[in-house]
Amino acid sequence: MTNPQAVEIDSESEAGYVCYSKADVAETVEVWENGTVAADLDSSGNVVGIEVLSFDEETLSRARVYAQEHDLVLPEPLEAATYL
């Protein structure tokens, strides 16, 4: 499992970004429900980062499943994460 290189949290807007790579983003794909979870991918299709736009339980669960499917660690609890 790959640990994040950095985590950015905006607790006021309940949003977070988990960065796994410094690679350039080639594409952003919607992972779940109208972009509340999205993934940035590099030109080879590897995950650069995961964006979460809500800290409700279901959204975080979907983000965790996506991370696990791609052998990535999503900090838990994400909303309490600090910059790594």
pTM here is 0.91
Domain span at residue 47 reads: 6-72
- The reply to whether 62 falls in a domain is yes
The DSSP code sequence of 6-45 is: EEEEETTTTEEEEE---SPP-EEEEEETTTTEEEEE-TTS
- The reply to whether 79 falls in a domain is no
For the ranges 18-22, 37-41, 58-62, the lowest mean pLDDT is seen at: 58-62
- The reply to whether 23 falls in a domain is yes
Q: How many domains does the chain have?
A: 1
- The reply to whether 78 falls in a domain is no
- The reply to whether 84 falls in a domain is no
pLDDT bucket at 84, cuts 50 / 70 / 90 = very low
Q: For 5-15, how does the pLDDT look when each residue is reduced to its tens digit (9 = 90+)?
A: 999 998 888 89
CA dist 58 to 25, 41, 46, 61, 69, Å? 26, 23, 24, 5, 17
- The reply to whether 77 falls in a domain is no
- The reply to whether 13 falls in a domain is yes
